[in-house]
Structure 1
Amino acid sequence: MTDSLPMPISAPITPAQRTSILNLLRRAARAEILPRFRALDPSEISEKTGRQDLVTAADKGAEAMIARGLQRMYPHALIVGEEAVAEHPEIRDKIGDAELAFTIDPVDGTWNYAHGLATFGIILSATRFGVPVFGMIYDPIMDDVVIAETGGPAEMFLPKRRLTRRLGVSPGGQLSELQGFIPFYLLPEEKRSEVGAALPLFERSHTLRCSAHEFRLFAQGSVDFHFSARLTPWDHAAGALIAKCAGGHVAMLDGSEYNAKLRDGVLLCASNKETWERIRDAFAFLLEPPAEG
């Protein structure tokens, strides 16, 4: 548990701190997440906003453990955990003004986790005034992590094997050649029919119900784009930075920069600017205001 992570080009968080954060995630996974996987009692699963939005005892326990550890390491940092925000929404309002904030998604892909699917992960980011500067996406099942910092590459680190490899996005291409992730069920209802009509333009579009693994696959070049709606900083801040550091073109659908304080809009990550523009053009109707009833 003391294996050191590689030094990035720019280090707003020191190598020792990065190692401590990773070790914190690994401990939380061993203590709170993995023992409950496929062993949850029904009483340990509940709905937040509906049947598709679940929370489990593992989410709550892991977030509490990670938040305590981060607060000890960074006493003055703002901690923005998904489950804490569910109970105290005002926490999220502070992220754009915080010199240093950490976002935590303790079990990203909770629906998968609660139903026994091994496609889930822990997402953590550090932001400065809402701008992501550090991102870490940890896979508890495989015990490996994808990590990036501003100015550095995106890398996968396998602690047990002490192996690091640099990640890079796909070459991109024409729409008919592209594969990517589109969370259809998270799109505004009034736009879904138009989005559905556009899906045959692509070679393949789907969703894993897990931003952690979707962003990891994009950074590894396995898919060509990642489309995010209903912005939440614990889901998207780390992934946006990792996608950019892997060589992708990352921007809001209107061309503006992503910031973790944003609540509305669509975040689009694509292999390069040309590919990004083709996808943006295909979904330009999402930028139009809804028709008045």
Structure 2
Amino acid sequence: MTISDTDILFLGECVRQAAQAEIMPRFRNLGAADVSEKTSATDLVTQADLLAEHRITAALKERFPAALIVGEEAYDADKSVVPALADAELAFVIDPVDGTFNFAAGLPVFGTMLAVTVRGETVAGIIHDPVLGDTVTAIKGAGAFLTRQDGQSSKLKVAEPAALNQMVGGMSWGHMDEPDRSRTCANMAKARMTFAFNCSAYEYWMVASGKLHFIGHSKLMPWDHLAGVLAHQEAGGHTAKFDGTPYRPGEISGGIISAPDRESWQTIRREIIGH
């Protein structure tokens, strides 16, 4: 199974249409009944998440009727879809509103992410910013590009390697358990500057475009990472799980770090994550 250039254009259009029709009309316009807690007060779902995922899913099913479709919100109803990514002939992984806490708070730092996997390998990824209309598109072996709302396109490239005390990065220690949580948070003081966007879409865009040197996460749900990891790799970066192995579709544990190159990755693994 292969994905054509025409398919990629179709996927980008699916995501943009969902953003225009379901996400942006609800931004800073949500009523109390439009927001629900999932596992905690910082893990939310809104009507925008549900309706955007539903719209993208319907479009994908019509064009690719045999494909496995894994949506963040649909996963709550059927947990078996994530392990199935490991060997599905063709699968699409959707995060309709990545950064839902930000979206619900009225903070314009959120995005829509869509990844395409073929037999356990990510072959394409899309990260769309509904507010600015910008889209990152990554195709395995063909690079990662940022396309502005006006159509201007530029190739993405990761930051040049630097000493840790000159690096700018982010590490999502909030999902870690103690003692890893406190140790990792304290170790981030070794970097020059640290950011926490609470939004994988923004983090991967920033690290793939060289605005950040590194990012890291302990929680590996596929809709948060597949598209972004491919974009980072296609921009020349090195991403691996905490144990040094490649990150693959279907895996949900083990932690992950994205850095400019293997040596930088090893420095961050040693100095930030530690044990």
Would you call these one fold, judging by a TM-score over 0.5?
yes
> Are positions 1:198 and 2:210 aligned together?
no
Which of 117, 140, 146 aligns to 2:136? It is 146
Residue identity (%): 38
Q: Which residue of 2 aligns with 1:241?
A: 230
Q: Bigger CA drift: 189-198 or 117-126?
A: 189-198
Contact 1:183 1:206 in 2 (8 A): no
User: What secondary structure, in the 3-state scheme, does the structure 2 residue paired with 1:76 have?
Assistant: coil
> Are positions 1:281 and 2:270 aligned together?
yes
CA distance in 2, matches of 1:127, 1:109: 23
User: What secondary structure, in the 3-state scheme, does the structure 2 residue paired with 1:24 have?
Assistant: helix
Map 1:1-293 → 2, pairs under 5 A:
12-158=2-148, 160-283=149-272, 285-286=274-275
Amino acid at match of 1:78: L
Structure 1 runs not aligned, ≥5 long: 1-10, 287-293
Contact 1:103 1:125 in 2 (8 A): yes
Offset, 1:128:
2.1
Contact 2:99 2:200 in 1 (8 A): yes
CA distance in 2, matches of 1:263, 1:23: 29
Amino acid at match of 1:259: R
The runs of 4+ residues in structure 1 deviating greater than 6 Å are none
CA distance in 2, matches of 1:284, 1:145: 31
Offset, 1:283:
3.9
Q: TM-score, normalised by structure 2?
A: 0.96
User: What secondary structure, in the 3-state scheme, does the structure 1 residue paired with 2:182 have?
Assistant: helix
Aligned residue pairs: how many? Answer: 275
CA distance in 1, matches of 2:162, 2:2: 34
Contact 2:53 2:96 in 1 (8 A): yes
Q: 1:284 to 1:113 in 2, by over 3 A?
A: closer
CA distance in 1, matches of 2:264, 2:251: 24
Q: Bigger CA drift: 190-199 or 172-181?
A: 190-199
Q: TM-score, normalised by structure 1?
A: 0.91
CA distance in 1, matches of 2:112, 2:90: 20
RMSD: 1.4
User: What secondary structure, in the 3-state scheme, does the structure 1 residue paired with 2:179 have?
Assistant: helix
Contact 1:153 1:246 in 2 (8 A): yes
Amino acid at match of 1:118: P
CA distance in 2, matches of 1:201, 1:17: 44
Offset, 1:284:
5.2
Contact 2:28 2:105 in 1 (8 A): yes
Amino acid at match of 1:228: H
CA distance in 2, matches of 1:165, 1:224: 19
Amino acid at match of 1:124: L
Structure 2 runs not aligned, ≥5 long: none
CA distance in 2, matches of 1:34, 1:275: 38
Amino acid at match of 1:230: K
Give a deviation string over 1:148-206, Cα, whole Å, max 9, x none: 11101110112x42211001011021111111111121122331121123122111222
Q: Which residue of 2 aligns with 1:8?
A: none
Offset, 1:123:
0.4
Contact 2:113 2:223 in 1 (8 A): yes
CA distance in 1, matches of 2:138, 2:147: 11
Contact 1:170 1:221 in 2 (8 A): yes
CA distance in 2, matches of 1:247, 1:209: 24
